[in-house]
Chains A and B, each alone.
Chain A
Amino acid sequence: MEESKKILVVDDEESIHLLYREELEEEGYQVFSATNGEEALEIFGSNPIDLVILDINMPGMDGIEVLRQLKAQKPSLPVILSTAYSEYKHDLGSWASDDYIVKSSSLDELKTSIRKRLG
């Protein structure tokens, strides 16, 4: 059996991690969790991550900085911004990230986007 794809979820909310982990594991992905930027870069450095779901507003290093560093290390890495802010979609949607999804209790949009990027 093909090895499952590895997704890194970066978010400072524990409850989000619980939800994303269960939903994504159900889809057959292997899920890594990071609650801040530094941790995210550390996990990324030691695991062959296939896709990153990234929150923007986090204490310490913010999502934009994490995005910059991830893309600097691996420009082809798909990164989906998943945030509570809807108003920056126009500014960020077409910029460095691959997608920008406003957080919603329905994860359908997020799952569709992941499938599109991981095949």
Chain B
Amino acid sequence: MPRLIKINHATVDLKDRLEQTVLLIVEAFEVAFCGFFSLQTGGDHFILEAASDYSHRKEGRCRLDIKEENLRQAIQKKRPLIIAEWSNDFPKEYWQKIAGYEPRSFLGIPVSDENVTYGALVLLHDRPRAWVQEEVNLLDLASQEMAGMLRSTDVLLPSEERIVETLARENAGMVRELSTLYKISGHLMTTVSVDEIGKTVIKAITGDEGLGFDRAVICLMDEQEEVLKEVWRGEKGEESSARDIIIPLNKDGGALARAVQERVPITINANSDPVLSKIWFEGLDCADCAVVPIIAKYKVMGVIVVDSFCNNRAITKENVCVISMLANHTGLALDNARLYTFLDRTNKELVEARGLLAEAEKLAAMGEMASTLAHEIRNPLVSIGGLARRAIKVVNGDNGGKRYLEVIVDEVGRLEKTLNELLDYAQEPEESYAKKDLNHIVEECLELMHREFEEASITVKKDLKSIPLIWCDERQIKHTLFNILLNARQAMPGGGAIRVSSSVEEDDAGGYVTCTIKDTGGGIPEASLHNIFNPFFTTKKEGSGLGLAISYRIVSHHGGKIEVENEPGHGVAFSVKLPMNPEPRGHNVYKPKNKIKKQKLE
């Protein structure tokens, strides 16, 4: 036994170990032959795996299939089969071939562990031989040791040539696939372009350097429509343009829809799937396909469909495994790209919004400054200019004083003109009317106010209906909505709710689109209600009182109106109604202020 254990640890090659074991047994028990026969899985025959001598090979046979029912039954029951002296009811034909002489006694010991029956250890002798219990026990121990060897190797293959060959092939294949996967994943993780990801994966699956399938198609989910759409496709490493294929995610979607819904890879012959055979192969010969879902963060993003339509190779479990790994990488890469795109877009919007805000603040600051300056400078200018005019009248003679005063009057006039132009610029930038989506303008205002609302614990509920585009000056309308939203916020210092809704109202004149902003700020006292659109009317400590007045003016210029629904104690709702009529400015022709002033100055 110690020698046996030594064998077990001496070499890694299973075949060597088995052979050394049987040789050891022949020597120790002084028998003519010992061999290990493996029981073929599912079969009813044995194959000789190791023998103390291979005399049968002299007859040119290297493989023997032995059908021995008595032995099979005995080892299945994990009992030894003992024949001290051969009788006629036990066929000796096979054993004679193996031993090379006529055996007279037989001992078969099962080689098995709790779960698996590997085969039998068979001893033959050329004379009748009594197999004593002690010997049987010892051999039983040896067989257990053998079972251990077999379990640890866990391969039981017909012949050594095939073991080596298969292992080598499998290894080479695995190494190639793994290195391909490694390369692809490296590539996938360094790109954020969705299209590049798709093309890389197609190339990886179908290219010679890649996994070597003939054809691959990637479909991505369209979440809004709940369908799969073909996005990339390629054959033998060459990318071809995707077809306009849309697959519903119900029973009409066949294996593709099933792979998405059940989130498992499916291997299927296209012939047995109506969607694959009709749509996918377009009447071409159908092959085995693997349909593998692309999953990232518990979400199915699409499927990869792979087939080998040229060599009609079957798709193995290992193939599916590798494609699944690739699909996982693809999912992650697509998710990364999606996040990146989202981040990039949000960032751009943020920069844009910040720019707009800065611009608006700058304009507001400029307006304020110009306005203050105007007031401060205009009064002294009026006095200087006005009194100089008077002085011209009272100066007598032509001693030069009159000419100086005329220069003062002219220069004051020039300064006043400059002042007016400055105010025009600050107060009334060019109007620009265009077809705009009121919902979009509302959204932008809410976006700009988002933080302010959040800080003031004000929740915003949106109920924006689909409304037609209207002809308006986006900047001015934004200003109007902004004013109303700002009032709403200031009316709710302790938090509250704002409900913003949009709707369409048809009438004979073309109808209105309406945006209603409703707050829970306690409403407006009845006594003040009639004043809210009056300039300089304000209930706020720091308000100019111009916000709603200007808003009212803007909406009037658009041919629209502002309606107020006041619920004292609860809140107030302002509705901005803008006409859908393509030329709303026709209702109320707006004369820019600067024109009036220029006339005045000349």
Cβ B389 vs Cβ A91 within 8 A: no
- 26 residue pairs of the A-B complex, CB under 8 angstroms, read A13-B383, A15-B380, A15-B383, A15-B387, A19-B390, A23-B386, A57-B375, A64-B535, A84-B374, A86-B423, A87-B371, A87-B423, A87-B593, A89-B593, A90-B553, A91-B535, A91-B546, A91-B550, A92-B535, A95-B535, A102-B600, A104-B416, A105-B381, A105-B384, A106-B385, A106-B389
Give chain B's interface residue range (CB within 8 Å of chain A): 35 or more
Closest-CB distance, B311 to chain A (whole angstroms)? 82
Cβ B550 vs Cβ A104 within 8 A: no
Candidates B376, B379, B546, B597; contact of A16 at CB < 8 Å? B379
Taking beta carbons and an 8 Å cutoff, which residues of B are in contact with A? Answer: 371, 374-376, 378-390, 409, 412-413, 416, 420, 423, 427-428, 534-536, 546, 549-550, 553, 593, 596-597, 600-601
Decide yes or no whether A38 CB sits under 8 A from chain B.
Answer: no
Cβ B387 vs Cβ A19 within 8 A: yes
Taking beta carbons and an 8 Å cutoff, which residues of A are in contact with B? Answer: 13, 15-16, 18-19, 22-23, 57, 62, 64, 84-92, 95, 102-107, 109
Closest-CB distance, B557 to chain A (whole angstroms)? 10
Q: How far is the CA of A42 from the CA of B536 in the complex (A)?
A: 24
Q: How far is the CA of A27 from the CA of B525 in the complex (A)?
A: 47
Q: How far is the CA of A77 from the CA of B321 in the complex (A)?
A: 94
Q: How far is the CA of A95 from the CA of B553 in the complex (A)?
A: 13
Q: How far is the CA of A104 from the CA of B599 in the complex (A)?
A: 13
Closest-CB distance, B423 to chain A (whole angstroms)? 5
Q: How far is the CA of A23 from the CA of B546 in the complex (A)?
A: 34
Known: A13-B379, A84-B379, A102-B378. 5 other contacts (CB 8 A): A85-B371, A103-B379, A105-B389, A106-B385, A109-B600
Interface residues of chain B: helix, strand, loop or mixed (majority): helix
Q: How far is the CA of A117 from the CA of B535 in the complex (A)?
A: 24
Closest-CB distance, A20 to chain B (whole angstroms)? 8
Residues of B with C-beta under 8 A to A87: 371, 423, 427-428, 593
Cβ A19 vs Cβ B386 within 8 A: yes
Residues of B with C-beta under 8 A to A86: 374, 420, 423, 593, 597
Closest-CB distance, A67 to chain B (whole angstroms)? 10
Cβ B385 vs Cβ A18 within 8 A: no
Closest-CB distance, A101 to chain B (whole angstroms)? 9
Cβ A107 vs Cβ B386 within 8 A: yes
Residues of B with C-beta under 8 A to A95: 534-535
